[in-house]
Every structure is written in structure tokens, then in C-alpha cells.
């Protein structure tokens, strides 16, 4: 059995298991898993840029927020249908990621990281400045009647969970295809040795911009889905913390792996959820665990598994 078939079977099995878990888990955990699936899509978007292209960004909250507010504001002020609002959210994230990519890719290395952080902070301040429309930190609620998608009420647990799963599955399949495509292999070549990739004829700048757009669009799709499925949009999702979270998810799960973002998101979500029951210093616990994993499993959980299962995508 070749690697491509094993990879396809693994991804299919992950989707089937996730679908079955809704009927097995208690309502609290199935609700958590719906959020995790959306956040895992956010992490997968980040993984395209960091894990496969080697570009460290601290500005992905801007892409997440662009999708979230593109959908939320179009429903709130334009009375757009959920489908149209979702399209507007995706278009918003494509435009924002293209503009930010075009400007930020004039820099490299640490400068790129700082520039993306500055753009994200500018986006956060913009959300606060236009608080009359965005309602700032308070945010706004998307009413239940505005979240009915082709007659399906996405505020209900079953439709919400499987809508999140469907979006996650599409993202997972896209990443799996991208990794084995010519574009994906070019991105990996750029990550491994940018100068050599340029020397043998690849348009490095174009492919890096493409990676930013793909990454930003996936992150924006996650933001739009979060607003639609959970009925809320707020400035906290545009804050620096939401740029750090996908980085943590990817580092914990395994950068440059297709299932690593999901593993990392589940791990970090429940680490914070469980530790917060015992102490207010739950972020300290999360930080200590991250340090330990970085020391003893620098390639993340999926990277550790890949040492034993070399075919793991």
C-alpha cells in the first residue's frame, strides 16, 4: 500500500471517527468538539504558512477577524442570507490576506513576523475605533433566525456540529491535496532552501504570496464559521492572543503535518479547559507543558508519531 493511499485512508478515518463522536460524547464535549473543529481549521490555515512554507506570522488574528466581521456585519447591517454572508466573509479574508501578503513579503525573517504582528494590532485597533458598528470588546450576537442555512437551524447542536465537521473535512482534504500538488511541493522546497528554490527557477515571491492568501482564506473561513455557528463576533478574536493560539496549536500538534493542527487544538483546548477548573494560572500550566513538549518532542505530537510511522502525512 503506497503512501498516498495510506494518507487518504487516514484522513477518511479521522473524519468518520469525528462524525461518530457526536453520538458517543456527552453534550458538553460534543459542543467543545464543534469549536475545536473550527479552531483546527484556523490552525490548518496557519500551518500552510508556517509548517509548509516556513514563514512565521503573528498576524493571523487579522485574517480570522476579517472573515468573522465580513460575515457578521453583512448579516447585521445588510440583512444578508447566511450563504451570501459566508461568501462576503471569504472574499474579505482573500482581499485582506492578499494586501497584507503583498506588503509584508517585502520583508523576511524576524521583520516579517513583526510586520504581520503590527498589521494584526492595527486591525484590532480598527475594530475598536469603529465600535459604533463592531461594538468593540462587547461584540454583537447573531440572532438564531439569522443563522438558518437552507432551512437548517445552525444554532442547534446536531446541525452545528456537522456543519463544523463538513468545513473541517473540506479544509483537511484541501490541505492533503495541496501537500501532494506541485504548488505544495514548491512551498516545501522554499521552506527547506529558499535560495536554491529560486536558483532552479521557481517564482519564490509568487508562491509565498499564494501561501499567504491560502493561509489567510482558510483562517478567514474559520472566523466566518465561528460567527455563524456560535452566533457571536467580538474584538477579542482580533487581539494578539488569537494570533498566538494557532502557532501553539501547530507547534504542539506538529508543523508540516496534515493532522497535527487537529491534535494540537484538541490538546491545548482541553489542557486549558481542565487546568482552569483548578487554578487561575492555567496559562502558566499551558506554558510549562509547551516548554516540555518543545524540549522532548520538538516536532510536535504528530511529528513524534511520524518517527514510527514514516508514511504519516
How far apart are alpha carbons 118 and 7 in whole angstroms?
Answer: 38
pTM beyond cutoff 0.85: yes
Closest CA to 173 of 63, 3, 10, 1: 10
Set of cell numbers at residue 127? 475594530
- Residue 1 pLDDT more than 70? no
Q: What is the pLDDT confidence band of residue 310, given thresholds at 50, 70 and 90?
A: low
Q: Helix (H) and strand (E) counts for the chain?
A: 14, 4
Q: What is the pLDDT confidence band of residue 164, given thresholds at 50, 70 and 90?
A: very high
How far apart are alpha carbons 233 and 184 in whole angstroms?
Answer: 33
Closest CA to 84 of 157, 150, 165, 172: 150
- DSSP, collapsed to helix, strand or coil, labels residue 1 as coil
Condensed to tens digits (0 to 9), the pLDDT of residues 97-123 reads 999 999 999 998 889 999 999 999 999
**Which residues, other chains included, contact 267 with Cβ-Cβ below 8 Å and sequence gap of 6+?**
252, 253, 301
Which of 210-214, 247-251, 280-284 is least confident?
280-284
Beta bridge partners of 152: 149
How far apart are alpha carbons 109 and 152 in whole angstroms?
Answer: 46
Beta bridge partners of 149: 152
- Residue 55 pLDDT more than 60? yes
Which of 3-7, 15-19, 23-27, 55-59 is least confident?
3-7
Condensed to tens digits (0 to 9), the pLDDT of residues 230-248 reads 999 999 999 988 898 999 9
Amino acid at each position: 500500500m503506497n503512501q498516498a493511499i495510506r494518507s487518504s485512508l487516514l484522513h477518511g478515518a479521522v473524519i468518520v471517527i469525528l462524525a461518530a463522536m457526536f453520538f458517543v460524547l456527552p453534550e458538553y464535549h460534543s459542543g467543545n468538539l464543534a469549536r475545536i473543529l473550527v479552531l483546527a481549521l484556523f490552525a490548518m490555515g496557519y500551518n500552510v504558512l508556517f509548517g509548509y512554507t516556513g514563514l512565521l506570522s503573528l498576524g493571523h488574528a487579522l485574517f480570522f477577524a476579517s472573515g468573522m466581521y465580513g460575515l457578521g456585519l453583512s448579516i447585521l447591517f445588510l440583512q444578508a442570507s447566511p450563504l451570501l454572508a459566508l461568501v462576503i466573509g471569504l472574499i474579505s479574508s482573500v482581499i485582506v490576506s492578499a494586501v497584507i501578503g503583498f506588503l509584508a513579503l517585502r520583508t523576511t525573517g524576524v521583520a516579517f513576523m513583526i510586520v504581520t504582528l503590527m498589521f494584526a494590532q492595527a486591525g484590532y485597533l480598527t475594530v475598536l475605533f469603529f465600535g459604533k458598528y463592531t461594538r468593540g470588546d462587547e461584540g454583537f450576537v447573531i440572532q438564531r433566525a439569522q443563522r438558518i442555512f437552507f432551512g437548517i437551524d445552525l444554532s442547534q447542536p446536531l446541525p452545528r456540529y456537522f456543519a463544523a465537521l463538513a468545513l473541517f473535512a473540506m479544509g483537511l482534504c484541501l490541505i492533503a491535496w495541496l501537500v501532494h500538488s506541485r504548488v505544495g511541493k514548491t512551498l516545501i522546497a522554499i521552506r527547506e532552501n529558499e535560495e536554491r528554490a529560486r536558483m532552479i527557477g521557481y517564482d519564490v515571491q509568487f508562491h509565498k504570496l499564494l501561501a499567504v492568501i491560502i493561509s489567510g482564506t482558510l483562517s478567514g473561513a474559520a472566523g466566518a464559521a465561528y460567527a455563524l455557528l456560535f452566533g457571536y463576533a467580538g474584538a477579542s478574536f482580533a487581539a494578539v492572543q488569537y494570533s498566538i493560539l494557532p502557532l501553539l496549536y501547530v507547534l504542539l500538534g506538529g508543523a508540516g503535518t496534515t493532522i497535527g493542527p487537529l491534535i494540537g487544538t484538541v490538546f491545548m483546548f482541553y489542557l486549558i479547559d481542565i487546568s482552569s477548573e483548578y487554578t487561575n494560572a492555567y496559562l502558566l500550566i499551558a506554558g510549562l507543558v509547551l516548554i516540555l513538549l518543545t524540549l522532548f518532542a520538538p516536532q510536535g505530537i504528530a511529528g513524534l508519531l511520524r518517527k514510527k510511522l514514516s508514511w504519516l502525512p
